[in-house]
Amino acid sequence: MYSPAEVPAGFRQYFFVNAGGPSRTIVNREIVLRKWQLVTLECGHKVLLAKYQKSAKLGCGFCGGLEPISNQQA
């Protein structure tokens, strides 16, 4: 688990501290920087994950109505 401070600037709108929301299949993975991947889900949303996370499915926070950290007050 990464703290919000470690999330690279420019990708904070794709990062959720707590995974949640309905489970979606990952349809594309794009490595960003060294430690991160930007995955595209079957619902069309993109979520930033740590690179080591390899699961085929992910809960989509956008579909679940959660707020990425860029929308949260520190």
Binding site for Zn ion (CB under 5 A): 43, 45, 60, 62-63
Residue with the two structure tokens 């949640």? 20
Tell me which residue of 32, 33, 28 sits closest to 45, measured CA to CA: 28
Task: Specify the residue, 49 or 60, whose C-beta has the smaller distance to Zn ion.
Answer: 60
Q: How far is the CB of 16 from Zn ion (least distance, A)?
A: 11
Q: How far is the CB of 34 from Zn ion (least distance, A)?
A: 26
The count of other CB atoms within 10 Å of the CB of residue 45 is: 16
Task: Specify the residue, 6 or 27, whose C-beta has the smaller distance to Zn ion.
Answer: 27
